[in-house]
Structure 1
Amino acid sequence: MRPDPIRHILLACSSVLLVSLLASCSTTRILSKDQTRLKSNVVTVVNRKDYPDFQDPTLDNYVRQKANTYFIKTRRGGWNPFLYIANWTNGKGKGWDRFVTKLGQAPVVFDPALMLDSRDNIETHLKYIGYYGSTVKPLAEIRNKQTVVDYRVRLGRQYPIREISYEVEDPLLAEEIYRDTVNSLIKVGVPLSESLLERESERSEAYLRDIGYYEFSKNFYFFTADTVSVPGSALLKVSVRNYPRGGRPEDAVRHRRFYFGKVSVYPVSDNIRYRASISKKIPQILDTVQYEDITILYDRKRKIRPSILYKMNRIEPGDVYSSSIVNSTYQRMSNLRIYSSVSVELTKTDTNIVDCSIRLIPSKAHGYKVNLEASTNSTGLIGISPTVSYYNRNIFKGGEWLSLSVSGNFQFSVRDDTRATEFGANAGLSFPTFVFLPDRMFKNIIPRTDVELSYNYQRRPEYTRNMIGANFGWSWSSQSNKYYFKVVPLQINIVNLPVYSDAFLESLTNPFVREAYKNHFEFGLGFDIQYSSDPNVNPANSFFKADLQFDLAGNLLSAFNRFMPVDSSGFRTIWNSPYSQFVRTELSLAYTWKFGRDNKQALAVRALGGIGYAYGNSAKMPFERLFWAGGSNSLRGWTARSVGPGSSQMDETFSIPNQTGDMRLEANIEYRFPLFSIFRGAVFADWGNVWNLARTGDHESMDGGSTEDQTAEELSYFSWKNMLRTSALSAGAGLRLDLNFVVIRFDVGIKLYDPSEQRWPNIRTWFRRGGYAFQFGIGYPF
């Protein structure tokens, strides 16, 4: 066999690189002779058997000096490749040193003084949580210039509460406190601790302020514990004085129950004019409107209707003061999403009256958004997907959200006249109310009723498709904004193919697949549940996201089958089109781990799975409900819809790739790192594919077809046994421009394993025709 010089060169380069990396595999090379790296902190409770119920995962938080973070963590260390990168410096301080220093993670230099401070912190904390006389002995073990610090904790004595007595100076307040003792955290048998007393005084303060005691605070609580009279136990006396801690008995004042007085709402219409009026540069001109029992002070323009402000408000004059009512009003005003700042100011105007002033600073009411995605591959196929949208958060001066968007998808080949065009328009209107349910049922959140209309036009060489859609439903977020819910009890889609090629339908040898490309009517429901551990637009720390979608169509219509006409294929029809019947669900889980200097580096992973099944009045899910892979947010070694299902070859029926399947599995990993200025880099790998589900009748439907057709169909099916060899794998690198308000992304993905060929492409073919794809997108892929 003739030797391959390229392979020998690559092998030699790889060997040199491997030897170089092994030679520099040290996490301490850049440390001075008298320095060591803090490898790990370990907290060991040496007398845990005496306290089997001891649980405090926060002990590590009281260690002053943290060790380096790790991808794979063990009790006494871990593995982080960026520690090695930081040690690749050559000591010259030039470009290479600056690059690896920025990319890598510098070793944490062990500081003995911080170790002693950590000891004191842990001992103080243990006393705070009720372990009196605890001791901490730190032991530093040094090996190979790496230090592991073991904080050996010996828990001190606990004093269970044996008896509780109360002394409340104010008789009216005493009634409320005694009534609330059933909810008290202080109970007989519970170990005494400063933490317990602090939490109980805060809980009681919140309770009393919620039932009218506006001026009450936890500082009116006094605690006395006797641990001598009964050895091993504590006798606790709880006192509530009429003067706070640090005050004098002669200044004592009885606690009063307060009531809401005048309620004023000031919706600012002009931020600039408002700031000028605050600085007294211009006089403030107000238009006073009395609506029901609240006073509204408009300046210049009325940009919000009085009825909406009254509806959002929960504070009513004459009612007993309640802090939860004040917080509810704040949350509801904020959740309108038309104000950048909401403040609720309380002013004591009498011995037991507080007036309320609600000031609302407007945010930007409307604006435009532009999004663009593009991809191309080595075959010369180019795809461009622009979207332009307009939003108005207060279209009818009642907090209604209007959204309008126009999108397109244009695919063409630079090698021939192949073209495909897709155009879409969407209009949505969201009202700040839950239709069919009273608003008072919702305490802090504002549910919204959503109505959407959409139109989609597709023109491909094989067919032309029109789709009209309408949705009605409700959406809301949790009080923390971590959860988002959307329920759509009414989803309607009407799909019509006015123009199609007879040769196209004849080429679809499987009648089940053929049904996906016929006129149909969809009537169903769906829901969407999203979760984010950090609801901020750009989280500063690590975060987790999850998204579950579910759709069900045709079940309600199936109850009226006997009243519907039947077409030539045996399907029930509405307006001469069969209605679709299917179930479809999709789940996405993503975690982004941020680390390094100022959390500028990130490792993001995502797992995604979806499946759909047609039954009853449908032989195949509608085309628009099928799954596809590839593109800028999926398998980036392929353009959109150009991979799968399974190990199927590209369907030559379509001039432009249109590969789809009944299910989808995908996993992605991406490492993101800073380069310089606004430029960021990334390396990534994507695994997954789409597959069809084998169903009864598929093979029979292929009888009479060619052997090639039957084989192609079988290659598209999913099976656990063949999942790996029918999956696609790509990897690549990307460049990102972080403009703060938007991230512009350029990626190049290489096919590492192509399921249609069921082999690993040789490295020499990566950049040949069909071996790679360029991707362009706005924002991160996940």
Structure 2
Amino acid sequence: MYICRLGGLYLMTTYKRLLLPLVLLMAACQPLKYVPAGEHLLDKVEIRSEKHLPSTTTIKNYLYQEPNDRFLGLISLNLGWYNLSGPDTSKYINRLLRNMGEPPVLYDEMMTERSRQAMRRFLMSKGYLNATVDTAVQYDNGKVTVTYTLKGHQPYRIRSYNFEGSPDSISKPIFEAMPNALIKPEALLDSKMLDDERGRVTRLLQRQGHYNINKDYFFFRVDSTYGDHFADVRLGIRPWAPDSPALMHPRHRVDRLFFMMDVPMSSYIRLSDQQGGSGSATFDVADYDTLQMGNYAIVYRGKPFVNPDVLIQNCRIRPGQLYDIQEEERTYARMNALQLIKYTNIRFRENGSGTGRERGLDGYIVLTPNKKQRFTADLEGTNTAGDLGVAGSLSFSNRNLFHGAEMLQANFRGAYEALSANFSNDYTELGGELSLVLPDFRMPFLSADFKRRVDANTEFALSYQNMSRPEFLRTIASASVRYNWSKGMLRQTLDLIDLSYVYMPRVDSTFKARYLTGSSYLRYSYEDHFILRTGYSFSFSSAAPGVTNRSYYTIRGSLESAGNTLYAAYSLLNAPKTGDSYTIGNINFAQYIKGEFEYAKSAVLNSRNRLAYRAGLGIAMPYGNSRILPFEKRFFSGGANSVRGWSVRTLGPGTYKGGSSIDFMNQSGDLKLDMGLEYRSVLFWKLESALFADLGNIWTLRNYSGQPGGQFNPADFYKDIAGSAGLGLRADFSYFLLRLDLGMKVYDPSLMGNERWRILSIDQFDDFAVHLAIGYPF
């Protein structure tokens, strides 16, 4: 989320030395200050391995001892903080410096041996059973360099893979699913792959009623006597009861479901235990009431906090059906999607029913409610190119409006900004949004079974925005119907209908004469118009919830189109045109297609350093009823989440150079490219630093007279790509991250000749930009 952007930063041509970095550098150059006599500082660890072996980044995870972290891989900054401290730890400043830094890592021969053994075990687990790991230790003036040399030799590969089978009827689905096995001939004898295969088979059975099955029931027999470094792998299954091999693995069928509404989990366990675990618990204790609805039981105190029908509709576990772990996971997802539910916990217990190998289960869905209503107020200061202002917002939410987990949200926002420090020439914005989210998929003419298969909610929204500037007064009103759903880490949104009406009751005559002449492309963006669009967007992240020390990537994309239905209807009816366009009551409607895609990755280098990068592309094209995109649908460049050497909306399009003030009308385009690279390093406490570089720009698809140099040219567009670099400081408070970035222009395509390379002559006021924002840029 972007908070504000400060104006350019003036850099004097006479550079002054900064005291603190110099002191830190000197401290880092005395790494042996706190190394005891007879000990050695672990200065460097090198890993040398053959190309076909796993990457050194992966192998580093098996090191038991690593050197002190180096900032940007060069300076032991944290060790420098520690070395700045004095020996007297009773003084606060010394304790502070030591907490900010880290003590010297002393070489430990035992840790080196443990690392060597761990690396060899890892290589053996990857099929390199004859792998060797050698170590070499070099001493130099109190410092130590340890080198690990890894050789895999010829690995073992899989010749064949089969399932042994057993008299147990559980063997049949396993045999049928063998074509989908993860283990393939010629693959390395990788223990992780074998374990993943056990997980695949286990989940296969858990989807077919085998509630109590787990990976420990499966084992592998590996026969490598065939020779030539090949092995035959056979999957086996242990009996359900070791003392009774003939006893088959049971299947479980769900008999009853209990919704425990704000009832502690311990209550049903204690009650069941009191009744001998027979499963005959009826929850008829004084503190709780039970509402029976077929095979569902609603257990509550006083009054259910939500309509029980909503819980049943969002529950994917069905009484009378075999247990299915996927339906349990979907039930978790649906319950957690209800904003009224704070926590969800699902448990199953055998109830003693059933005959033969089929047994009965009772399911307990324990639900903890969230607060029904919430009210928040925010106030913030803004600064746009030196124009100071203030903005505030109020929001209200009701998570159970009609007692069916419907969520009502109302937001109101207002902003004021004094343009050019002249309070008689100001900017104001007032707006609000009202939305209602229903906890299920609402669409006519669809069967209940289909709606159950789609885990989506339905959102109705209304919004209004009034923007007043000296140049114009703009009002935007919109209404939309959208569907939101998620599966795992994939989130999707379908905007079924989104209707917007842009009304321009006032346009300044001077502004109109300058920008909105008859031939100006901007004229169409400052006329009344309708936008009736349909869109789809998605986002996927490979980051596991709660895991922070793994590499991950994210993918985002969106596609929307507008005006097609209206244009087709008018064409079929042979309706007359007003000029070149169809109109609705003398008001044009927009027709365009727009798409965006972004890929970003955050790779772990070590415990304190990450490398993040991203690439994003967006393109939009007007056609049919429109000659130009609506202003609010165009792309902009520069700012905290774009090319950070430029302030927000001050870059491009192409080589176009805006005026002395923000030329936001002309600095917009139809095509956008964003690329970024960022090295993130933990400093101390909650602070981390960043070194970043950004590339990007926007272009127009057509040649507009008001934007000279802005059109995209495939032959030489690379010359128009702007570049910037800079430093960042971040404070990570877990629940949010505060970011401060200083960006410097490196290459400015709007200038001529060598002046484009700003890094060669940094002496202008606007060669720098400071950005304050929340969250990472990507």
Same fold by TM-score greater than 0.5: yes
- 2:156 and 2:188 in contact (8 A); partners too: no
Which whole-Å CA distance do the structure 2 matches of 1:386 and 1:373 have between them? 6
- CA distance in 1 between counterparts of 2:69 and 2:670 reads 39
Which amino acid in 2 is paired with 1:717? Q
> Aligned to 2:343, which of 341, 344, 364?
341
Are residues 1:616 and 2:612 paired? no
Q: Deviations over 1:646-675 (max 9, x none)?
A: 444445899987743333334455566667
Per-residue CA deviations over 1:566-619 (Å, capped at 9, x if unaligned) read 33x43221121111122222334444456676x4x6665444433322222222
Question: In the alignment, which of 297, 317, 328 is matched to residue 326 of structure 1?
Answer: 328
Could you tell me which residue of structure 1 aligns to residue 633 of structure 2?
Answer: 625
Report how far residue 136 of structure 1 moved.
1.8
1:358 aligned residue: 365
1:225–1:235 Cα contact (<8 Å) kept: yes
> What is the one-letter code of the residue matched to 1:575?
G
Tell me whether 1:136 sits opposite 2:132 in the alignment. Answer: yes
After superposition, what is the alpha-carbon deviation per residue over 1:753-774, rounded to whole angstroms, capped at 9, x for unaligned?
Answer: 66555543997855x5x66655
Q: Which residue of 2 aligns with 1:530?
A: 539
Instruction: Select which of 508, 514, 531 maps to 1:501.
Output: 508
Shift of 1:631: 4.4
Q: 1:39 is aligned with what amino acid?
A: V
**Cα 1:382–1:613, aligned 2, differ >3 Å: closer, same or farther?**
farther
- CA offsets 1:178-218 (integer angstroms, 9 cap, x no match): 66666667899989887777655554444444333444455
Instruction: Write out aligned runs for 1:760-775 (5 A).
Output: 760=758, 765-766=763-764, 775=771
Number of the residue aligned with 1:564: 575
Provide the residue aligned with 2:589 in structure 1: 579
- Give structure 1 stretches of 5+ with no counterpart: 1-5, 49-53, 72-78, 699-709
Residue number in structure 2 paired with 1:268? 262
| Aligned 8 A contact 1:269 1:301 in 2 | no
Select 2:208's aligned residue among 206, 211, 217: 211
Alpha-carbon distance in structure 2 between the residues aligned to 1:192 and 1:755: 54
Match of 2:252 among 240, 248, 258: 258
Shift of 1:546: 3.1
State the partner residue of 1:702.
none
Asked whether the equivalents of residues 81 and 102 of structure 2 are also in contact (C-alpha less than 8 Å), the reply is no
In 2: Cα distance, 1:373 partner to 1:542 partner: 34
Larger mean CA deviation between 338-347 and 746-755 belongs to 746-755
Structure number with greater CO (CA < 8 Å, separation at least 6) is 2
Q: Does residue 436 of structure 2 align to residue 429 of structure 1?
A: yes
Helix, strand or coil for the counterpart of 2:708? helix
Correspondence for 2:148: 149
Counterpart in 2 of 1:312?
314
Q: Residue 397 of structure 1 is aligned with which of 365, 387, 403?
A: 403
C-alpha displacement at 1:523, in angstroms?
1.8
Show the counterpart of 1:413: 419
Aligned 8 A contact 1:332 1:444 in 2: no
User: 3-state DSSP class of the match of 1:713?
Assistant: coil
Name the count of aligned residue pairs.
732
- Deviation sequence 1:299-347 (CA, Å, 0-9, x none): 2232221211111223333333444443443333233343332222212
Code of the aligned partner of 2:711: Y
Match for 2:152: what amino acid? V
Distance 2:379 2:749 in 1: 29
TM-score, structure 2 normalization: 0.77
- 1:158-197 Cα offsets, whole Å, 9 max, x none, are 68459875443x5x55666666666667899989887777
Q: Is the 8 A contact 1:746 1:775 kept in 2?
A: yes
Deviation at 1:150, TM superposition (A): 0.7
Look up the match of 1:714: 708
Q: Which one-letter code corresponds to 1:581 in the other structure?
A: Q
Distance 1:374 1:443, change over 3 A: same
Q: How far does residue 364 in structure 1 lie from its aligned partner after superposition?
A: 3.9
Say if 2:492 is the partner of 1:492: no
SS at match of 2:628: coil
Helix, strand or coil: the match of 1:428?
strand
Distance 2:161 2:689 in 1: 62
Gaps of 5+ in 2: 1-10, 87-91, 275-284, 354-358
Give, in angstroms, the shift of residue 356 of structure 1: 1.6
Per-residue CA distance 1:367-397 (angstroms, 9 max, x = gap): 34556665436x6422545444333443333
In structure 2, give the amino acid aligned to 1:114.
Answer: M
Q: Tell me, in whole angstroms, the C-alpha distance in 2 between the residues paired with 1:217 and 1:757.
A: 66
Task: Provide the C-alpha distance between the structure 2 equivalents of 1:725 and 1:229, rounded to a whole number of angstroms.
Answer: 61
Rate the CA distance shift 1:273–1:387 in 2: closer, same or farther, 3 A: farther
Deviations along 1:445-502, one digit per CA (max 9) or x if unpaired, are 7212222222121111122111111222322112x22x21112232222111112233
Asked if 1 retains the 8 angstrom alpha-carbon contact of 2:693 and 2:725, the reply is yes
Task: Give the structure 1 partner of residue 282 of structure 2.
Answer: none
Of residues 639-648 and 265-274 in structure 1, the stretch that sits farther from structure 2 once superposed is 265-274
SS of the residue aligned with 1:154?
coil
Q: 1:501-520 maps to which residues of 2 (within 5 A)?
A: 501-508=508-515, 509=517, 510-520=519-529
**After the TM superposition, which residues 34-183 of structure 1 pair with which residues of structure 2 at under 5 Å, given as runs?**
34-44=40-50, 60=59, 63-65=62-64, 80-86=72-78, 88=80, 91-94=83-86, 111-124=108-121, 134-140=130-136, 142=138, 145-155=144-154, 160=159, 166-168=165-167, 170=168, 172-173=169-170
**Residue pair 2:260, 2:300 contacting (<8 A) in 1 also:** yes
Q: Secondary structure at the match of 2:335?
A: helix
The answer as to 2:644 corresponding to 1:641 is no
Q: SS where residue 351 of structure 2 aligns? A: strand
Aligned residue identity for 2:669: G
Q: How far apart are residue 58 of structure 1 and its match? A: 9.9
**In structure 1, what is the Cα distance between the partners aligned to 2:599 and 2:618?**
12
TM-score, normalisation: structure 1: 0.77
Structure 2 match to 1:74:
none
After TM superposition, give the deviation of residue 558 of structure 1 in Å.
2.2
Call closer, same or farther: CA 1:111–1:676 in 2, change over 3 Å.
Answer: closer
Mapped partners of 2:334, 2:763: distance in 1:
59
Could you tell me how far 1:294 is from its partner in structure 2? Answer: 0.9
The whole-number CA distance in structure 2 between the counterparts of 1:343 and 1:190 is: 40
Alignment identity in percent?
Answer: 25
How big is each residue's C-alpha offset from its partner over 1:74-115, in whole Å with a ceiling of 9 and x where there is no partner?
xxxxx9435454565694525999999888898866544334
Corresponding residue for residue 665 of structure 1:
673
Aligned mates of 1:490, 1:572 — CA distance in 2? 20
Residues 622/205 of structure 1: CA separation in 2 closer, same or farther (3 Å cut): closer
Relative to 1, partners in 2 of residues 1:102 and 1:308: Cα closer, same or farther, differing over 3 Å?
Answer: same
CA contact (8 A) 2:495 2:534 kept: yes
Q: Quick one: distance in 2 between partners of 1:343 and 1:101?
A: 43
SS state at 1:258 partner: strand
Cα gap change, 1:595/1:123 in structure 2, threshold over 3 Å: closer, same or farther? closer
On the 8 A contact 1:225/1:236 being kept in 2, the answer is yes
Matches of 1:643 and 1:175 in 2, distance apart?
64
Distance 2:661 2:231 in 1: 84
Paired residue type of 2:589: Y
Q: Output the amino acid matched with 1:117.
A: R
**Residues 158 and 189 of structure 2 are in contact (CA less than 8 Å); yes or no, is this contact kept in structure 1?**
yes
* CA gap 1:91/1:439 in 2 versus in 1, 3 angstroms: same
- Flag the 1:420–1:305 CA change in 2: closer, same or farther, 3 A: same
* SS in structure 1 at match of 2:333: helix
| Contact preservation (8 Å) 2:542, 2:552 | yes
Distance 1:653 1:155 in 2: 67
Equivalent-residue separation in structure 2 for 1:684 and 1:236 (angstroms): 49
Deviation (angstroms), 1:287: 2.9
